[in-house]
Every structure is written in structure tokens, then in C-alpha cells.
Amino acid sequence: MQQIAQQLIYGIQLGSLYALIALGYTMVYGVLRLINFAHGDVYMVGAFVGFYACTRWLPFKDLAAHPEAAGANIALAVVALLLAMAICSAMGVLIERFAYRPLRNGLQKADAHFWGLVLGFPITGLFMPVFSGWGPLVAVAVGMGVGFAMRPLVAWLARRVKLSESRLNALITAIGVSLLLENGGLLVFGANPNFIPNILPEHTYTLPGGVMVGSSQLTILGVSVFLMLALRYIVMYTRPGKAMRAISHDIEAAKLMGIDTDRVIAFTFALGGALAGAGGAMVAALTHVKITPLFGLLPGLKAFVAAVLGGAGSLPGAMVGGLLMGSAESFVAGSSLSMFRDAIAFCVLIIILLVRPAGLMGRHVPEKV
Amino acid sequence: MRWLALRTVTVVGCIAALAVVSKLLSANLDTYVFLVVIQCGVAMTLAGSLNLINGITGQFSIGHAGFYAVGAYVGAAWTVLWQPIAVRYLPLLHLGTPLGDTLTLLIAIVVGAAAAAVAGVVVGLPSLRLRGDYLAIVTLGFGEVIRVVILNIDAVGGARGLTGIPTLVGSGDLAFFWVFGLVVAVVALSRNLMRTTRGLTWLAVREDEIAADAMGVDTTRVKVTAFVVGSAFAGVAGVLYAHYFTSISPDVFGMDMSIIITTMVVLGGTGSVSGSLLAAIVLTALPEFLRFMQDYRMVIFSTMLVVVMLTRPQGMFGHGEISFATFRRLLGRRRAGGAKP
């Protein structure tokens, strides 16, 4: 009994993280009908921002040496969290602007510039050793130069681009962006796993029945619930939220009603990115997991499963789905089948899609010819 | 009768041509280059077989490495675990003799293909209810589940992988013969599908499933068949891979592999057989040539993928094929342009 309750608490902690990521998936799916594969990697970026904020950027003090710094560290941790949210929402907007918007509206000149630039950077990196004495500034300048030279290539490729209605193209683009973030992350952050030392005071509370709850678990749960409530407020009671709901109902009609759909879609990505960034930063700072550039992949996929389980496009569904997924995983991990903990998500997905494709709380949209 | 004669001549001609080419290549190529050529062959089979599902039938499967893994593991399990038992009752299978080697390999191919085909049915069944991106995610999930299951089967080595597989295809001309024979088989099957009535039903499902259904096409059967055939070929590719490299581990068949195979098909143009095969060659050989770019090549790959999707959503060749007619047309156009007054 105590074992079960303990697993349940761990499951809720895991589940609230999955729910945070799943909300980003489900919002984007609701608005664009697109599975934003790169979302898990935004979560990874959030974890790295948290890591750098905690170890380099912000003046955290080691608790073992300075026990009196606990209060200051907590204040700094809030700053780190906000930083991760800001950077990740910028990241989400960037991905939307340069990868998904050209897919909807056609490739513009600015997109050709951007992708030329991205193509230019690996080439610059290759010549990095040549400029080693000059510092990264020269490399960046050369990268921009090479990128500018690459731009006509991209523009030439795009000379007769036919807009495609296929959602599969969107999916492949999303997979490409995800791969780009992962491999770019490997270059920028390195492949070695990173840990954050103990910087926040930790208490363990014993509930009646001998169940242990850590303060980090309570923090994760509390911050997640707060963010979800804030999101619900934004979506239900503000103008951009109303526009989001209008777009998810019917994007064409929303356009006709004068909603600037591109802006609202960018706003959706910003919201999703902020939630994923908060999740990543909390995981990095509170659970002492290994942070690697590939670490967003599995949580991302599991959160996606959570979003589908709850019903893609439904916000409460994503929360419920996240909690269910987290509990399911934690029970499997605690049972004798623990080696299958990464497979359970996909089994759940396959079953839910076969039995109730619209998810627990999604509405079923009949296909029209 | 004439039809049969023509077919026989074609098949025998293909086998003879393959035998000659494999002798020539294995005698003249550098060992390393030859290795890359074999890898290209395996990748071509994988791309061609995925093209049957994604390109010709229009289903979207991105978990192809799962079938590849099933084929490789079941085929290897046969040669490593079960063949020594079978040899007691069937001395014909004795390894080391040409007949025994060939028979063992053939049985491995059949077993691997059958196992992958069964996996294909299991994955194909959800495709009856799911479309588009949901199907894609389920196939990706199945691929992952297969990998995790293999990781936990201790008889085939679990995470350590299965080593010491007898190399039944050798490392020279015989390997080339088998691998590229498989490529030819995939191409022939795809070509025949694109030109026959039966294949027309597959194309109809791709173009408009509801309309195809209304026209009396048994869409269920078409979709499941496509999955079965496509995964069986991937399974055979796995068998050949296992018996060429003599060791396999679950890491080889991860999500990366699935995504690379999908990328080959998408870059080449879903539906274009020659496009997928060309993309398979480029994507397999390019990393070898880009060895000096080690860390950057995956970044370049992924950027290329996004840029191609944004600039040519239909893939490099779309539904078109590269054939002699293409070259003739290209030349003809140039000549016509030159002749203009």
C-alpha cells in the first residue's frame, strides 16, 4: 500500500511535467493540426538554460558551503525559471517563423536568408580551427557571409515552390527541425551529460502511512499547477486566447473575421515554448537528471502520447493525459516490468488510438468528402 | 507461353548480369569502398521497400527500422541458435559447404521475411483506422516497442547485441550478389506495381482513399498487403545485413535509423522509385565522404531536410522517375533549343 502511494506520488511529479509539455503539443495541434515534433527539444533547451543559469550565469552559492544562502538561491531560482521560459518561448516563435510559416504561406526572402545562414554555420564551424586565434566573432561573421552566399541557392531551390496541403510534409519538417535542434545542441552544448549541484534546500516530509514527499516534488507540482491555471486564464479570458480558440475552431473563418492568424499562431508557440522551458528548467534544477542534447526526445514523445491520450486539441485533456501517463510509467517502473518503462507510452498510444482515436476528452470530427 | 519465356530470359539475364558485375566490382574495388557499396545496397532495399508503403500506397509509416530489426534478429537467431539443432536432423545444412551455406541463408531469408511480414500485419492493422500523422506516430511507436522488446530478450544478447553470426554471404562478390539481387527484386516489384491493374489499386488508395473505396477497391486489403510486402523486404535486408556484418545490436535499429530511411523516401520524392534509391545512395555515401566533417554532418543533414521540405515539398523527383526517357528529353530539349532560329 505504502509502495503504491509512493509510486503514485512519483507518478504525479512525472505526470505534471508531461502535462506541461503536452499542453504545448495540444495547443499547436489545436491551432495548426500539426504535430510539433521539435517541442521536446525546446524542453531540452529549457533544461540547458536552467543548467547554465544555475552554474554559470547567475551567482548561485553552493548550499553545502553557505547554508545561509538558501533564501537568495530560491529568489535566483525563480529568475532562472523565468529566463528559461523567456528563451524557450523565443525559440518556439523562431521555429514557427522560419520552419512552419513558410510551409503555410510560401517561402519568403527572409526565410531564404535564414536557412542560408543556418546552412552556412556548419561550414564555418569546419573552418573554426583556422580562426582559432581570432575568437568566435570572426567565425560568426564568416558564417553570416557564407550564409549570405548560400541564400541564392535556397532562393533558387524555391523558385517554383508549390504550396503543399499535405500534413505529412509538415510532419517531416517538424522532424527535421527536431533533428536540427538535437544535433545543433550536440555541437553547442557538447555530448557530455551535465548535472546541477544541490543549490536549493531540500526537505522530505513523511505523510501518515510512511509515504515520503520531497520538497522538489511539491515545487514541481506547485509550479506546474500555477502555470496551467495561468494558461487556462490566458486561453479563456484574454483576447489572444479568444483568437486562439477561434483559430482552432476554423482558421479560414477566423481570418475572415479580421484575426491576424500568423501573430496568434506565433503567440501559441510562445506559450507552448514557455511551458516546456519551465518544465525543462525545473527538471534540470530539481531532479538531478543527466542533461544531454538528446534528453528531450523521449519526454517529448511521451508528452505527445499524453496529449493524444487526453484528446489532441483539448487543454484539460492534456493535463489529465499527462498525469495518467506519468502514473502509468511510474507504476510500470516500480513493478517487475521496469525494463519496459519506455515502451509503455507507445503501448498506451496504440491502444488509445485503436479504441478511441479522439482521445479521452477530444471531440470526434467526422471526415467530410 | 511467350510471356513466360520473356520473364525467364529477363530473370536469368538479371542474375547473370549481377554475377558478372559482382565479380568485377569485388575484384577491382577497394575494400572500404566495397563496404560502402554494400551499405548503399542495404539502404536502397530499405528505401525501396518503404517507398512501397509510403510512396505507392500513400500510407505514412516512419518506423521502418522496426521491421529491419525483426528480420535481422530472427534471421540471425535462426543461424546462430536454431540452425545447429536443425543440422543434426538435416546434414545437408552443414555450414562450410556451398550448398549448406546457401540453404541456411535461404532459410534465414524466408524466416526473417516471414517474421517481418507478421510484424507488418500487426502494424498494418492500425492503418485501417488511422490516417496521416497519427499513423506515422503509431508506426514510430511500434518501431520503438520492437527495439525495447529486443533489448529485453536475453537469448539474442539484449543490449549487448548478437555477435558471432556466421557470415554466409562472405565479404566479396557473393555479398554484392545477394544484396543487389534484393535491390533488383524491390525495383522490379515496384515497377510492376506501377504498371499493372493490381498496382493501380495501390495508387488509387494513395490518391484518394475514399474515392478508391467507392470505386470498389478493397482498401483494407491493399493497405495491409503494402505493409506486409514492404516490411518483408525490410526484413530480408536485415537478414543480409546481419550475415554480412556478423554482429547486430539494438542501437543500429533505433529511431534514428527509421528517420533516416523515411528521409531517403521523402527526399527522393514519395512515389518515385528511382528517386528514393538515389537518395538512399546519397544519404549513405555522403556521410562517408563527409567523415572529415564528423560533428557537422548531422546538422547539415537536418537543415537539408527542412530546406528541401520548404522548397520542394514533393521531394526532389516528385512522382517522376529517372529513366532513359528523361535523358532523351533533356538532350532533345537542348537540341531543339539550339536548332531554334
| DSSP code, position A211 | E
Residues A119 and A228 in one domain: no
Residues A140 and A284 in one domain: no
- Does residue A226 lie within any of the structural domains? yes
Quick check: A168 and B141 CB within 8 A? Answer: no
Which pLDDT belongs to residue A30? Answer: 85
Chosen domain end from A141, A162, A183:
A162
Q: Which of A28, A123, A168, A348 to probe by mutation at the B interface, max B CB count within 10 Å? A: A168
Which grid cell sits at A312? 489532441
Three-state SS across B57-104?
CCCCCCCHHHHHHHHHHHHHHHHHHHHHHHHHHCHHHCCCCHHHHHHH
Chain A CB contacts of B133 under 8 Å are: 35, 167-168, 171
User: Is residue A127 over pLDDT 70?
Assistant: no
User: Is residue B273 over pLDDT 70?
Assistant: yes
pLDDT in tens, B9-31: 888 888 888 888 888 888 888 88
Quick check: B60 and A169 CB within 8 A? Answer: no
Residues A126 and A200 in one domain: no
| DSSP code, position A96 | I
User: Is residue A42 over pLDDT 60?
Assistant: yes
Residues A133 and A72 in one domain: no
Question: How sure is the predictor about A369, in pLDDT bands with cuts at 50, 70 and 90?
Answer: low
Chain A CB contacts of B132 under 8 Å are: 167-168
Which pLDDT belongs to residue B338? Answer: 41
- Does residue B274 lie within any of the structural domains? no
- Does residue B269 lie within any of the structural domains? no
Select the more confidently predicted residue: A188 or B53.
Answer: B53
Domain ranges, residue A29: 2-106+163-355
Residue A320: count other Cβ atoms within 10 Å of its Cβ: 21
Q: State the smallest CA–CA distance between residue A88 and chain B in angstroms.
A: 20
CA distances B338 to A52, B325, B341, Å, are 63, 19, 8
Gap between the Cα atoms of A118 and B269, Å rounded: 24
User: Is residue A143 over pLDDT 80?
Assistant: no
Residue with the three cell numbers 473505396: B213
pLDDT in tens, A285-341: 888 788 888 888 888 888 888 888 888 778 888 889 999 989 988 888 887 777 777
Which pLDDT belongs to residue A237? Answer: 93
Residues A328 and A215 in one domain: yes
Chain B CB contacts of A346 under 8 Å are: 141-142, 144-145
- Does residue A304 lie within any of the structural domains? yes
Q: State the smallest CA–CA distance between residue B68 and chain A in angstroms.
A: 18
CATH number at residue A26: 1.10.3470
User: Which residues on adjacent β-strands are paired with residue A205?
Assistant: A213
Gap between the Cα atoms of B157 and B248, Å rounded: 9
What domain count does chain B have?
1
| DSSP code, position A191 | S
- Does residue A364 lie within any of the structural domains? no
Of A180, A354, A367, the CB nearest to B306: A180
Gap between the Cα atoms of A336 and A123, Å rounded: 49
Average pLDDT of chain B, as a whole number = 83
Residues A351 and A233 in one domain: yes
Specify whether the CB–CB gap between A265 and A96 falls below 8 A: yes
What domain count does chain A have?
2
User: Is residue A62 over pLDDT 80?
Assistant: no
- Does residue B168 lie within any of the structural domains? yes
> In the predicted model, what is the mean pLDDT of residues A187-207?
78
Question: How sure is the predictor about A273, in pLDDT bands with cuts at 50, 70 and 90?
Answer: very high
Specify whether the CB–CB gap between B67 and B234 falls below 8 A: yes
Q: Assign residue A335 a region: left if phi > 0, alpha if psi is -120 to 50, beta otherwise? A: beta
Q: State the smallest CA–CA distance between residue B296 and chain A in angstroms.
A: 6
Chosen domain end from A162, A197, A231:
A162
User: Is residue B295 over pLDDT 50?
Assistant: yes
Chosen domain end from A162, A194, A226:
A162
Specify whether the CB–CB gap between B224 and B112 falls below 8 A: no
User: Is residue A199 over pLDDT 80?
Assistant: no
Gap between the Cα atoms of B280 and B272, Å rounded: 12
Residues A113 and A217 in one domain: no
- Does residue A365 lie within any of the structural domains? no
- Does residue B248 lie within any of the structural domains? yes
Model ipTM over 0.90: no
> In the predicted model, what is the mean pLDDT of residues B161-165?
84
Q: Which of B307, B308, B314 to probe by mutation at the A interface, max A CB count within 10 Å? A: B307
- Does residue B197 lie within any of the structural domains? yes
Residues A204 and A341 in one domain: yes
- Whether B133 and chain A come into contact, CB under 8 Å, resolves to yes
Which pLDDT belongs to residue B341? Answer: 38
Residues A62 and A134 in one domain: no
- Does residue A369 lie within any of the structural domains? no
User: Is residue B337 over pLDDT 50?
Assistant: no
Of B134, B297, B303, the CB nearest to A118: B303
Which pLDDT belongs to residue B11? Answer: 86
Which pLDDT belongs to residue B336? Answer: 47
Domain ranges, residue B188: 33-262
> In the predicted model, what is the mean pLDDT of residues B178-184?
89
User: Is residue A232 over pLDDT 60?
Assistant: yes
Comparing A250-264, B77-91, B153-167, B292-306, which segment has the lowest mean pLDDT? Answer: B292-306
Residues A15 and A135 in one domain: no
Residue with the three cell numbers 521497400: B49
pTM of the model: 0.83
Residues A298 and A194 in one domain: yes
Q: State the smallest CA–CA distance between residue A201 and chain B in angstroms.
A: 37
- Does residue A363 lie within any of the structural domains? no
pLDDT in tens, B220-266: 889 899 999 999 999 999 999 998 988 888 888 888 888 888 888 88
- Does residue B280 lie within any of the structural domains? no
Question: How sure is the predictor about B340, in pLDDT bands with cuts at 50, 70 and 90?
Answer: very low
Residue with the three cell numbers 516490468: A337
- Does residue B319 lie within any of the structural domains? no
> In the predicted model, what is the mean pLDDT of residues A156-182?
77
Residues A271 and A134 in one domain: no
Question: If we measure between CA atoms, which residue out of A81, A152, A83, A147 comes closest to residue A118?
Answer: A147
SS3 assignment, position B241: helix
- Does residue A223 lie within any of the structural domains? yes
Residue A55: count other Cβ atoms within 10 Å of its Cβ: 15
